Amino acid sequence: MQSPHTPAASRDALAPVLRDVRAVVFDTDGVITDSARVHAAAWKAAFDAYLRAHPPKDPERRRPFDVQDDYLRHVDGKSRLDGAAAFLAARGIDTSPETVRAVAADKERRFVRRLREHGVDAYPGTIRLVCALRRAGVPRAAASASRHAGELLVRAGVRDLFDVLVDGGEAARLGLAGKPQPDLFLEAVRRLGVPAGRAAVIEDALAGVEAGRRGGFALVIGVDRTAGDDSGARLLRHGADIVVHDLEELCGGGAPK
């Protein structure tokens, strides 16, 4: 529903699919910032080191971590512990709490070092959409399973574009279940004061679009930046209503309807 105080021209700057949405929740890694590549590189280094030190009996399961397929299947959008456990289980490796914590901690050290050394950028198309939503009076939230989300947004210079941030630290404090459960997104729209049934979620992770669907959101938008043969179709199968390659496609005419 369009606010009586929002000029029609402001809503016209959005794709038709967004014009009745009253709030939008953005995942952080891979949607707002290009930090997904940093996470993927850190996971690869940590998992590959563990596979070399503790090779599975099955030679097929010794193959290195794949930054596209394995990342999307097992760790993208999840907490560090959940992601570590999922990948180790897929390779038939010990998933005791001690092992999972050790691998997750190694990934964390590698990620922080890469982040501090190289930083991250926000996607220009995402900035354009967020600014269009702000001009249209649509509240915006950033959500992430990562405890580093706030730092990422500040470093990218976009933290002030979002009314609300719910990150991994907040999720732990509140006892929110990780994706594919919708808790993180539901907390974000609760803070925006908008019911999920009138809000949209924008996600690039399979677990994330599934969380949006489970949460009863009016619109679940998948972002496919990988250009993989089946990546867009997988997002649709897991719960996305539509898939775009860049969020600029959701600005103005010619965007998805």
Tell me the domains of the chain and their CATH numbers: 8-34+121-250 (3.40.50.1000), 36-118 (1.10.150)
d(CA 126, CA 103): 32
Question: Cα angle at 193 between 178 and 206, to 5 degrees?
Answer: 30
**Number of other residues whose CB lies within 10 A of the CB of residue 1:** 8
Distance set, CA 163 to CA 23, 42, 189 (Å): 10, 29, 11
Average of per-residue pLDDT values in the chain? 91
Backbone angle region of 25, left / alpha / beta, with phi > 0 → left and psi within -120 to 50 → alpha? beta
pLDDT tens profile 35-90: 888 888 999 999 999 999 999 989 999 999 999 889 888 998 788 999 999 999 99
Where in the sequence numbering do the catalytic residues fall? 27, 29
Helix, strand and coil percent figures for the chain, each rounded to 5: 50, 10, 35
pTM of the entire predicted model: 0.80
Output the pLDDT for position 39.
Answer: 87
